[in-house]
Amino acid sequence: RDKESGVYANIQKKYGLTKPENIFRVDDYDRNPGPLGLWLQEFLSVRETASPTAAHLLLRLLEEKGLLLRCYTQNIDGLELAAGLPRDRIVSAHGDMSRPSCARCCGQYPLTDFEHQIKSTGIPPCCQKVGCGGPVRPDIVFFSEPPRIPHDYQKDFDACDLLIIMGTSLNVHPFASLVTVYHLFVLGY
Whether 138 contacts 76, CB under 8 Å: yes
Residue 94 annotated to the active site? yes
β-bridge partners, 92 = 73
Distance CA 143, CA 87 (A): 24
CA separation, residue 166 to residues 50, 61, 81, 85, 160 (Å): 18, 16, 17, 17, 16
Q: Which residues contact 103 (CB under 8 A, 6 or more apart)?
A: 26, 29, 30, 33, 134, 135, 136, 137
Whether 35 contacts 41, CB under 8 Å: no
For residue 131, the tally of other CB atoms under 10 A from its CB is 6
Distance CA 164, CA 127 (A): 41
Exactly one of 56, 94, 151, 183 is catalytic; which is it?
Answer: 94
**If you ran DSSP here, which 8-state letter would residue 71 be given?**
E
Active-site residue numbers?
Answer: 94
